[in-house]
Amino acid sequence: MSVNKAILVGNLGKDPEVRYLPSGQPVASFSLATSDNYTDRGGARQERTEWHNIVVFGKQAELASQYLKKGRQVYIEGRISNRQYEAKDGSGKRYRSEIIAQRIQFLGGRGSGSSAVEDPSDMGGDLPPPPAGGDDEDIPF
């Protein structure tokens, strides 16, 4: 058995860009920033930001391009994909890691405007329900 799943909650680094495959299927791509806070050895609070390349296909791509804007907070669920390509300048192979989104949900936060769709079913799904009882002691890991 194998599992390839990524779950991210972060803010868009740029507006989605939409292209169309030869078949006519829309493909949207955008960057997503996630941040992690930690305390360094000196006791100072630090923040580290990771950037993720997100790719969305089909109807979700059209909805993402219509409603997602730079700074908007979003939940992404998908699979990790690594691909290689030849550099345009002919200098060799390049590698790119991407998250192929299978579920997107708009969240509140920076950049959320009144024109955004707030119904998560419009993006193909909802967040999983919170654990019953809300007590972390019951979680087996």
Contact of 28 with 63, CB cutoff 8 Å: no
The answer to whether position 116 is within a domain reads: no
The answer to whether position 19 is within a domain reads: yes
* Structural domain containing residue 23: 6-37+47-111
pLDDT: which is higher, 28 or 123: 28
Q: What mean pLDDT is predicted for residues 10-32?
A: 95
Percent of the chain residues topping a pLDDT of 90: 65
The answer to whether position 101 is within a domain reads: yes
The answer to whether position 18 is within a domain reads: yes
Contact of 36 with 46, CB cutoff 8 Å: no
Question: Residue 120: its pLDDT value, please?
Answer: 37
**What is the domain-level CATH number for residue 78?**
2.40.50.140
Question: Residue 107: its pLDDT value, please?
Answer: 87
pLDDT bin (cut points 50, 70, 90) of residue 3 is: very high
What is the rounded average pLDDT for all residues in the chain?
Answer: 81
pLDDT at 129 over 80: no
What distance in Å separates the CA atoms of residue 101 and residue 48, rounded to the nearest whole number? 23
The answer to whether position 131 is within a domain reads: no
Number of domains in the chain: 1
Q: What mean pLDDT is predicted for residues 99-121?
A: 62
Q: What is the pTM of this model?
A: 0.71
